[in-house]
Amino acid sequence: MIIHLVRHGQPLVGSDGLYLPNAGLTELGRLQAAQVAKHVVSLNPEAAFTSNVPRAIETASHFSAHTNLPASQIPDLGELETGNIWDAPDSIKRRIASGDYHVDFKALGGETLGEFNDRVKRGFAELLAASSSLRLTQIVAFLHEGVIGTIIDHMEGRHSFDSKRREMMPYGSLITVNTDKSAPHFPGQWDTDHLE
């Protein structure tokens, strides 16, 4: 099965650089979502999936507007649950805003990286099962950088996501993976040619 994994458009963030709770996209994020939607439409996926997080749902809605294909939500494909990061000390906020995923999110009411990895693997299995039951051969999933990284790591036989393993995935970019065991899974680069 071919899966086009799309990172959501640029989300709204607070002055501290942290994602705002339940926030959607910025003006630039909506433009990125529109551009990636147009590109993904040309790839002819048969179905769309997303997490239950507003920034991913809003990104997927641009694709759905072009195709009349609603995006099915898979909650286990949501981004890392960070707990109450907004009340954390400034030093922790700076680490999180800089992309440091090795903060003790459990102490903030979130989940550990191990729990995150296990949850994403369950969500990915659900996505594959739903697609297989419908005999789909090509789909698109509008997700989050950490989730996409975890899926790729899982497909490459790694047991845990490491945010430092590869370059940051730009907002609105996509990568295509092939779940066929005899195919190369991960081409090694993000597709951003559709973004202005």
> What DSSP letter does each residue of 97-135 carry, written as one string?
HTT---S-GGGGTS--HHHHHHHHHHHHHHHHHHHHHTT
Pairing state between β 138-143 and 71-73:
unpaired
- Residue 52 located in a structural domain: yes
CATH number, position 131: 3.40.50.1240
Question: Directed axis angle between helix 113-133 and helix 145-155, to 10°?
Answer: 70
Helix (H, G, I), strand (E, B) or coil at 143: strand
- According to the model, what pLDDT value does residue 61 have? 98
- According to the model, what pLDDT value does residue 184 have? 56
- Residue 22's CB: how many other CB atoms inside 10 A? 9
- Residue 194 located in a structural domain: no
- Residue 192 located in a structural domain: no
Residue 91: phi and psi, rounded to 5, are -65, -40
The model carries a pTM of 0.92
Query: Mean pLDDT, 10 residues at a time, over the chain (196 residues)?
Result: 95 89 93 97 97 97 96 96 90 86 90 93 97 96 93 82 71 91 64 86
- Residue 166 located in a structural domain: yes
- Residue 133 located in a structural domain: yes
- According to the model, what pLDDT value does residue 132 have? 95
- Residue 110 located in a structural domain: no
- According to the model, what pLDDT value does residue 62 have? 97
Contact 11, 23 (CB under 8 A): yes
Specify the number of domains making up the chain: 1
Q: What is the DSSP letter of 13?
A: B
Domain with 37, as residue range(s), is 2-12+26-78+117-177
- Residue 128 located in a structural domain: yes
- According to the model, what pLDDT value does residue 37 have? 97
Helix or strand (DSSP H, E) at 67:
helix 54-67
- According to the model, what pLDDT value does residue 19 have? 85
- Residue 96 located in a structural domain: no
- According to the model, what pLDDT value does residue 152 have? 87
